[in-house]
Every structure is written in C-alpha cells, then in structure tokens.
Amino acid sequence: MPNDVASKPYVLGVDLGGTNVRAAVIDRVSEQIVARGENIPSRALDGVLATAGQIATAAKTALHQGNIDPERVVGCGIAVPGVIKGREGIVSYAPNFKDQWRGVQISAPVQESLGIPVHIGNDANLAAFGEFRFGSGRGVRDLVMLTLGTGVGGGIIIDGKLIEGATGGAGEIGHMIVNAGGRGGNSSFGSLEGECQRDAIIERAARKVQQGRKTVLAERTDYDRFALTPALIAQAASEGDAVAIEVFEETGYYLGIAVASLINILNPEMVVIGGGIAQAGELLLDSIRRTSNANALRALARTCQIVPAQLGDNAGIFGGAALALAEVVTEG
C-alpha cells in the first residue's frame, strides 16, 4: 500500500443514474458520510463527456461542502448502470443511455478533472460490494445480493472479492430462469426479473383484482390497474389484505427458487435483499426463506442468512467507495 495512503482519510463514492448523479465523501475511520453534494442532472443523453463533467461537478461539490482538500482523498468509485470493464474504465454497454454509450471511456476524463484515482463498476455489483463493506454484510466473506426494483440486479462477493466475470457481466442474477416460459419483461421469458420486477408485481395484483377477488386494492385504486404500485400493495398486505399478501408470497416464491440455486452453487454466508421492492419487509423475506429452505441443500441453507439490505438509496455511493478502497489495497 502506498506510504501516503494514511494521510488520505477520505474516499469519494458516486452513484450515476440515467437521470441524476449523486456524490458523497465518506470518512474511512468512521465509515460514515461526512459531506455530500446535491443531486444534479447526469446529462446521460448528451454523451459521455457531458456526463463525465457532471460526475466531476458532483464530486467537487461534495468536497466543497465538507471543506475537504482533494489531496486528502484516497480515490473515487463510480457506480454505473451497465456492463463495465472496470480495469479499463470502460462502459461496454449502458441500456438506459444513448447508443453512443458503447465501449466508451468514462474513468479517464473524471480522473483528469478531479486529480485523484477514479474507478468504475456496475451499479448492482457495487450495491452488493457496499453492503459487504459498509452494510449488512460486515464480517462475512461470501455474500450474494439481489436488488429488486424496475428490474432485478445482483452482485456476488466471494472470499471478500467482487466477482466481475470475463467481460464484466457477472452477477446478472435477474436473468436466471425460474419459471420457464413465464413472464418476459426486459429479460428472457420466465426469468427472475420477468417474474419479480416492479411491473410483474403490479400485473400479479391487477390480475387478481380483475378476477373479482375481494381486496382493498380494488377500492383504493377504483379498479384502475395503472394506480397500483408495489408500495400500495405492500401497505395493503401489512393491513392483512389476503390478495396483497398472496402477491408478495408468490413474488417471494420465485425469488426463493433463485436464492436456493445461488446457495447450492455459491455456498454464501449471506444473501442480502435490497432495492425498493424489498421495502415490503418480512412478508417478502419470509416467503423467500421458506422457498429457499425447501429447495436448497439443507447443510448449505442452514449456514446462510437471508437478510434485508441496510444502505438503502446510498448503496451505490457506498459501493463506489468500497471499490475505490479495494483498488487501493490491490495497487498497494
């Protein structure tokens, strides 16, 4: 490890989205955010150089808010939605951005602007890395995370190392097939994402309402399927609505099938469930645990905890910071 690392008590984490970019400074000792900048537009549709400029601006704003000299920052990690070649600092493909975001260099222009080492990684992978380093996964060495939202992403940590794969595409857990020939969504028919993404949960509830099932969901949306949201369904479930409970139990079933396969293949100490859909809480987690326990090898299932994520919306920021810190160790 370089001799001057001890004199750099801070690390930058950046979360890049299709709409906004967020940055924060994390103290390496307390492992807490000590300064952050306001969300600013990512300008992802204006090209990579425009976005690189916005990333640098967000990072500089966070440093300014904390009155922190860049020379006291050990590095910067950026969570990017897409297929990433981290070592090269290249975004191979970013489906939420323009087609020009194919094989583009993003680390170099940001690093030139900030004057500190910059590293990039896939956002879902880094969410897992953030939970491993700063969240639910503290103290474990082998962890898998699923992020549930508009899509289903994931990340895999083995022996303390983020698994990226040959071309940076490892951890695409949402593309696992859990119901061959089932719902497609943005993935293959019957994939985990197809069955458990936001729209799938809404469709599951809407179908039951359309069948004439008695549920408060019909009353609260006036039978308008477009008014349904996972949060509304989760609220109804927490109040004991049978249809809403069934929706999350069915969703948890497919997630549990995927988790059982991950347990059998990877033997992790922990599976972390995060993302907006995971806010349904124990109702969803209980269904995942029941299904995975019924389908995974008993000896492996017994040694694997299935827990909620802790970092929430800050997972990408902390994941970026975790990546930057890991690179310091690697380079040292």
Q: Which fold has domain 139-309?
A: Nucleotidyltransferase; domain 5 (3.30.420)
- The CA R_g of the chain, rounded to the nearest whole Å, is 20
Report the distance separating Cα 10 and Cα 5, nearest Å.
10
Q: What is the pLDDT of residue 309?
A: 97
Measured CA distances, 54 to 46, 65, 107 (Å): 11, 16, 13
Domain ranges of the chain: 3-132+314-331, 139-309
Q: Per residue of the chain (332 residues), what is the pLDDT tens digit?
A: 445 777 899 999 999 998 999 999 999 999 999 999 889 999 988 888 999 999 999 999 999 999 999 999 999 999 999 889 888 999 988 877 766 788 899 999 999 999 999 999 999 999 999 999 999 999 999 999 999 998 999 999 999 999 998 888 899 999 999 998 888 767 789 999 999 999 999 999 999 999 999 999 999 999 998 999 999 999 999 999 999 999 999 999 999 999 999 999 999 999 999 999 999 999 999 999 999 999 999 999 999 999 999 999 999 999 999 999 999 866 65
Residues 6 or more apart in contact with residue 92 via CB below 8 angstroms:
82, 83, 84, 85, 102, 103, 167, 168
Q: What is the pLDDT of residue 330?
A: 63
Closest residue by Cα to residue 249 from 227, 209, 225, 280:
280
Q: What is the pLDDT of residue 2?
A: 47
pTM (global) more than 0.85: yes
Q: What is the dihedral of CA 207, 95, 273, 281, to 10 degrees?
A: -40
Report the distance separating Cα 85 and Cα 216, nearest Å.
47
- Same CATH topology for 3-132+314-331 and 139-309: the answer is yes
DSSP string, 196-254: HSHHHHHHHHHHHHHTT---HHHHHHTT-GGG--HHHHHHHHHTT-HHHHHHHHHHHHH
DSSP string, 95-156: TTS-TT-SSEE-HHHHHHHHSS-EEEEEHHHHHHHHHHHHSTTTT-S-EEEEEESSSEEEEE
Residue 122, strand partner residues: 80
Position of tokens 């190392």? 161
3-class DSSP state of 261: helix
The CATH code for residues 3-132+314-331 is: 3.30.420.40
Report the distance separating Cα 197 and Cα 185, nearest Å.
8
Q: Would you report the helix, strand and coil content of the chain in percent, each value rounded to 5?
A: 45, 20, 30
Q: What is the pLDDT of residue 50?
A: 93
